Structure 1
Amino acid sequence: MKYSLSAKNLVCRNLESRASYCASLLNPDHTKEITGVLRSDSGLLSYTFNQAVTNAVMPERILQRFVVDYFAERHSPFTLWHTANKAFDDSSLAELGLKRGPSLVAMAVEVQRLAADESLPEALRDKLTIAQVRVDDLDDYAELQVSLFNGSREGPQVRKFYQRLKELPDQKRSRLKFYLARLDGEAVAGGCLFASADALGFYDQVTAEAHRGQGIGRALFHHLVAQALHSHHKYAVVLVPENRQQLLLDIGFFAVGEVASYRFEP
């Protein structure tokens, strides 16, 4: 695999596919695409699940009409992910109400190059268990995800997404695999694998604040890597903050570019 534009495109396509898939679980046929931009509307008032993904720089008027005006008319927030190597003019997007957030590093790897280490620190042995989430565990998984939003109005919208998922049969959401880490029975960390046509994406890994720094997040990530190694996927992709690359580099991932994010709040 050449770690170049083609590798970054794997990340972009996985991001687009996940945005579309999550939205369609709640709001079918509300993902639309024109050249260079995909728009997914989950029906929630959520910037987590309403997303637009751009893979090219386009005139601001097109972005405004196709994405910004659409969500503004629905009084709904959304997140814009910009995956192209050429950047937007942040000041122009700010005039549209799009506030620049932290960029993430796009990383990719051929799955066969990955190396998982599922051994646990002594303090976690016989205490930490990691397993795929069953429908009865979705509430615990949801609360971990909600904890990221510190009581903001986004939290209840995220909780509602997982409540709606509980109403769906497992096969309807089969491309999303959720995992929970429990310490002495308490849900303390969670993460997700999403399968697109050409890659397996790692998403939404979170560790409860009171349990950070104990190696739990690292153990969960290695467990997800082990699941990838047993999958049929040839490639794996992930988006991470710049200061959290080292674990992925150690496992075998390569950085393949930057992805900018913007948030719209009506």
Structure 2
Amino acid sequence: MQSQKLLFSTWVDHRLLHPDWTDLLKEYQLEEVERNTIMMLEQTEDMDTFTPSSLTIKEVLDEQTLLDYKNIFIELFKESPVAIALENYFQRFSLEAIHSRALMFVGYADHKPVTTGLLLEATDSYGIYDVITRAEHRGKGLGSDMFHYLLTQTENKQKRVLLQASADGKNIYQRAGFQPIGEMVVFE
């Protein structure tokens, strides 16, 4: 990846982050950029049906909704090398390939795309990712609405749900019953 000048990131559970591993990552010019709390909810059986008040949520099933998802996602990185890498990724992206494993959603306020969310199903758990809200729409509860909506979309209510929480989102997830179980270190 380095010889081809491709950008990449790696996530490491902090318990596995030995100093030798950190030194190796630095040899490849990877630096620690953030730490997130790994959080878990045992099951979603007690989740009530959720209807967001000011948000219309659509599953990504067509090219326009995928474009809305992509634009919100890339906007988070504002013309950085990461944004360029994500643009290249989405150029090769296939709705058919991802849809069998993940459900992607876009939330619209006043018919404008403002938030995203992704629910990924694994064998024994679900993962919540990409709960992103456009900067000008933050602080209005729209990201929280998307998060709660994702929790109601789990088909197997007995499976646990995992996510990585930034410092900003940790309290929202704890109020929903998620408990911290570790820390993830991100290198880029």
Q: TM-score, normalised by structure 2?
A: 0.87
Alpha carbons of structure 1 residues 262 and 120: separation in structure 2 relative to 1, 3 Å: same
SS at match of 2:90: helix
Q: Is the 8 A contact 1:193 1:201 kept in 2?
A: yes
d(CA) in 2 for partners of 1:153, 1:183: 29
SS at match of 1:225: helix
d(CA) in 2 for partners of 1:261, 1:171: 26
Q: How do residues 1-266 of structure 1 correspond to structure 2 at under 5 angstroms?
A: 71-89=1-19, 90=22, 93-112=25-44, 115-116=47-48, 118=50, 120=52, 124=54, 128-136=55-63, 137-165=65-93, 168=94, 170=96, 173-228=99-154, 230-231=155-156, 234-263=159-188
Q: Is the 8 A contact 1:110 1:236 kept in 2?
A: yes
Q: Is the 8 A contact 1:199 1:234 kept in 2?
A: yes
Displacement of 1:170 after TM fit? Answer: 2.6
Moved over 4 A (4+): none
Question: Would you tell me which structure has more helix in proportion to its own residues?
Answer: 1
Deviations, residues 71-100 of structure 1 (Å, cap 9, x unaligned): 222222211211151433245643441211
Q: Is the 8 A contact 2:48 2:152 kept in 1?
A: yes
* Cα RMSD after superposing both structures: 2.2
Alpha carbons of structure 1 residues 87 and 259: separation in structure 2 relative to 1, 3 Å: same
SS at match of 1:72: coil
SS at match of 1:73: coil
Identity of aligned residues (%): 24
Worse-superposed segment, 75-84 or 99-108: 75-84
d(CA) in 2 for partners of 1:253, 1:188: 25
Q: Which amino acid in the other structure matches residue 131 of structure 1?
A: K
d(CA) in 1 for partners of 2:8, 2:97: 27
Note the residue ranges of structure 1 that are not aligned, 5 or more in a row. 1-70
SS at match of 2:76: helix
Q: Is the 8 A contact 1:83 1:259 kept in 2?
A: yes
Q: Which amino acid in the other structure matches residue 75 of structure 1?
A: K
d(CA) in 1 for partners of 2:40, 2:5: 35
Aligned length: 185
SS at match of 1:187: strand
Q: Which structure is richer in relative contact order (CA contacts within 8 A, separation 6 or more)?
A: 2
Displacement of 1:162 after TM fit? Answer: 2.6
Q: Is the 8 A contact 2:44 2:152 kept in 1?
A: no
d(CA) in 2 for partners of 1:160, 1:111: 36
Structure with max Cα Rg:
1
SS at match of 1:248: helix
Q: TM-score, normalised by structure 1?
A: 0.63
Deviations, residues 203-260 of structure 1 (Å, cap 9, x unaligned): 11110111111111111111001112x4466111001113421111111111001111
Note the residue ranges of structure 2 that are not aligned, 5 or more in a row. none
Q: Is the 8 A contact 1:117 1:222 kept in 2?
A: no
Q: Which amino acid in the other structure matches residue 133 of structure 1?
A: V
Displacement of 1:114 after TM fit? Answer: 5.5
